Amino acid sequence: MMNYPLLITDFMLRAARYFPKKEIVSIYPGGTFRYTYADWFKRVCRLGHALGSLGIKKGDRVASFALNNHRHFELYFGVPGVGAVLHTLNIRLSPENLVYIINHAEDKMIFVDEDVCFMLEPVMDKLKTVKQYVILSQTGKMPQTKLSPVVLYDDLIGQFPDQYDFPMDVDENDPCLICYTSATTGDPKGVVYSHRGLVLHSYSVVTSIGSKENDCIMLIVPMFHANAWGAPFIGPMMGMKLVLPGRQLLDMKAICGAIAEEKATFAYGVPTIWMMLHQYLEAGGEHDFSSIRLFSSGGSAMPIHLMESFEKKYGVPMIQGYGSTETSPVVSLSVPKSYMETLPAEEQLKIKATAGLPVPGLQVRIITTEGTEARMNGRDMGEICVRGPWIAGEYYKDPETSARIFKDGWFHTGDIGTMNEEGYITLVDRVKDMIKSAGEWISSIDLENTIMQHPKVMEAAVIGIPHPKWQERPCACVVPRPEHKDAITREEIIEFLQNRVAKWWLPDEVVFMEQIPKTSVGKFSKKELRKIVFPMLEVKEFDA
């Protein structure tokens, strides 16, 4: 066979050649902007020239600090297209983490959404390698900013021709994107994605979800989260219409309006988004989901009652995905098998609420503490280990952590899980969040999910608190639904759990709070939670 490389650039050329009329829709506070893959490609070509004019060379890192909009989508292909590496910065990172990762990646330029310039200004003096800021502006006006030197994106690319000869004699293993993990301990860690990895990830995700050209993706997951779960690549590969909701990510009225208006068939989001959407719907929010064929959730576990409500009450099937920054990110998807379609709805829902079946091309093993593979029985626990062509083999410039996490050819996820007879994974907990009580493990996630089924509860997180006799005991941190605030008791929670979990799993403490602290990607931050809860309970010593 020909020695022909797998390049995401090919996806771009395919969209421009065969799907030039298909639309990309980008939603701004001032209104909806729409253009076609043909228009998009012309601007990516201009961007290619512009990057060259600014001295960007093969392998250079170029950062984006932006949400889901059409200019960001141009960067996704223009930067890798010229051989450089797009570094998608999470706009919710702490200033310390931002400085660390920009310097660690040695970013040469940063492309910044006009409305988040102010977030970079406090740290700009600490960025050692950044030579140019470029403002992604839909208003066309240069915002008041101290970032310097600075130029408007449209002015920068506007001066160049709309044709560009993207190099195709590229090694498919060359880097094209880089993303940092949202570290819960220590410094963030960089994961470098290759063309090969992202192409194969795209193929596998499309085969698993059954996406087609006639799908329209509403991308509610931020474009700085682990390659936006691959959506920016499967869109042009398949010629699918894309809807990028920009700053409207958290505005459920706008999201529902765009779903109806653009006839979206498919939406990706994290559980926090789905919870917000569900609250909006329950409050009678306007919506029309007739075009939707699937919602897909990922990033953390989706409460099963929420999936049930979306499916039964709002007629939208929902699946979950499992993965991480290190896995591009999709490892598994909770798509039921054909012969499961005859199961009772409740059983099917349980399958959709798992972390899913590994997608084609990956190998997944549950490794016990003894180093052997756990049986596929849905009970035997172990660390989830993954290998395959879109799984990271190391962290960027961090050989020590790499040696610990990527060993024997497997990525050790740090997640504890089980796999059932059918191959569906269930997450039990993070290795470090498991509660060790009397020599046994209690899964904080299981407890959380059970508590969240209580009708008065909106969110719940469980942490272990040190105990002189049992080593650790669970503490439940509960956020009541607004309408039940101050009208829910410790006893109600315990009573609710009594018939649902083992007796020794019952929390010793129940703490009510207004919100659970979250990480920059919307997961519970148990590190922050401990900082809040331990003093409340007068727990002295704790491992942060």
Q: Nearest Cα to 187, choosing from 481, 400, 433, 452?
A: 400
Q: Which listed range, 211-219, 248-256, 433-441, 495-503, lies at the site for its own copies (CB under 8 A)?
A: 211-219
Among 89, 200, 249, 351, binds its own copies (CB under 8 A): 200
> Can residue 239 be called a binding residue for its own copies (CB under 8 A)?
yes
User: Which tokens go with 20?
Assistant: 């030039």
Residue entry with tokens 């039921």? 336
Q: Which residue, 342 or 499, has its beta carbon nearer to its own copies?
A: 342
Q: To the nearest whole angstrom, how small is the minimum distance from the Cβ of residue 520 to its own copies?
A: 24
Closest CB to its own copies among residues 274, 411: 411
Q: Does residue 165 bind its own copies (CB under 8 A)?
A: no
Part in contact with its own copies (CB under 8 A); list of ranges 191-199, 249-257, 306-314, 507-515: 191-199
Among the candidate windows 36-44, 177-185, 231-239, 286-294, which touches its own copies by CB under 8 A?
231-239
* 129 close to 109: Cβ distance less than 8 angstroms: no
Cα 416 to Cα 163, 203, 423, 436, distances in angstroms: 50, 28, 15, 13
Phi and psi at 318, nearest 5°, equal -135, 140
Residues 411-470 that bind its own copies (CB under 8 A): 411, 422-423
Q: Which is nearer to its own copies, 345 or 536 (CB)?
A: 345
In the complex with its own copies, the residue whose CB is nearer, 366 or 493, is 366
- 207 in contact with its own copies (CB under 8 A): yes
Q: Does 213 engage in binding with its own copies (CB under 8 A)?
A: yes
Q: Which residue stretch of 12-20, 141-149, 480-488, 507-515 sits at the interface with its own copies (rule: CB under 8 A)?
A: 12-20
Report how far Cα 104 is from the mean position of its chain's Cα atoms: 22
CA 44 – CA 236 distance, rounded (Å): 13
Q: Any residues with CB less than 8 A from the CB of 55 and at least 6 apart, and which?
A: 108
Per rule CB under 8 A, is residue 377 in the interface with its own copies? no
Nearest CA among 313, 261, 265 for reference residue 292: 265
Residue with smaller CB distance to its own copies, 77 or 274: 77
Phi, psi of 250 (to 5 degrees): -105, 5
- What is the nearest approach in angstroms of its own copies to the Cβ of residue 61? 17
Question: Which residues belong to the active site?
Answer: 181, 326, 436, 441
Minimum distance between the CB of residue 534 and its own copies, rounded to whole angstroms?
39
Instruction: Supply the minimum distance, in Å, between the C-beta of residue 191 and its own copies.
Output: 9
Which of 159, 163, 173, 377 forms a contact with its own copies (CB under 8 A)? 173
Name which position in 8, 11, 44, 76 contacts its own copies (CB under 8 A).
Answer: 11
**Strand-strand pairing, 190-194 and 175-180:** antiparallel
Residue with tokens 């059932």, as numbered in its chain: 420
Of residues 385 and 451, the one with the C-beta less far from its own copies: 385
Strands (DSSP E) contained in 255-371 are 266-269, 294-297, 318-323, 330-333, 357-358, 363-367
Among 90, 132, 194, 324, binds its own copies (CB under 8 A): 194
DSSP string, 503-541: GGGS-SEEEE-S---B-TTS-B-HHHHHHHHHHHTT---
Residue 230 engages its own copies in binding (rule: CB under 8 A): no
Contacts of 160 by beta carbon, 8 Å cutoff, 6+ apart: 45, 46, 49, 50, 53
The minimum distance between CB 525 and its own copies, in angstroms, equals: 28
Q: What are the start-end ranges of the E strands in 353-432? A: 357-358, 363-367, 382-387, 406-407, 410-419, 425-430
Residues 31-90 that bind its own copies (CB under 8 A): none
- Residue with tokens 């330029």, as numbered in its chain: 109
**Interatomic CA distance for residues 70 and 72, integer angstroms:** 5
* Residue 338 engages its own copies in binding (rule: CB under 8 A): yes
Decide whether 209 or 462 has the Cβ nearer to its own copies. 209
Q: Which is nearer to its own copies, 13 or 124 (CB)?
A: 13
Nearest to 343 by CA among 415, 272, 424, 412: 424
| Selected binder of its own copies within 52, 143, 317, 389 (CB under 8 A) | 389
Q: Count the neighbouring beta carbons within 10 Å of the beta carbon of residue 80.
A: 26
317 binds its own copies (CB under 8 A): no
For its own copies, the binding residues (CB under 8 A) are 1-6, 10-11, 13-14, 17-19, 21, 173, 192-194, 196-197, 199-200, 203-204, 206-207, 210-214, 237-239, 328, 335, 337-339, 341, 357-358, 360-361, 363, 387-393, 406, 409, 411, 422-423
